[in-house]
Amino acid sequence: MDTYSFLRQLADSWVLLMLFLFFLGVIGWAFRPGSRPLHDDAAQSIFGSEDAPRACNGSCATCACAAADDKIGDAR
């Protein structure tokens, strides 16, 4: 048996089986009991440090908000 035939037979049988078992293991690990709090925490982590946006009072010297409000007011 030459090398190519041996590797082809190995890939067609045992490596395919190992990859399928690895796939099942990853799926089983993701859906294991007790992992839901971890997944919920990961899903909400991007919102954890979000502060409410502050309203501009137009008091800073280089306030672009007041100029933008004037342009919007003129367009109305």
Reported as a single tens digit per residue, the pLDDT across 60-71 is 767 766 665 555
More confident position, 71 or 33:
33
- Quote the CA–CA distance of 10 and 17 in Å, as a whole number: 10
Transcribe 30-75 into DSSP letters. HT-TT-HHHHHHHHHGGGTTPPPPPPP-S-STT-HHHHHHHHHHHH
- When pLDDT is averaged across residues 25-43 and rounded to a whole number, the result is 91
Contact criterion met (CB below 8 Å) for 3 and 11? no
Judged against a pLDDT cut of 80, whether residue 26 lies above it is answered with yes
- Quick check: 27 pLDDT over 60? yes
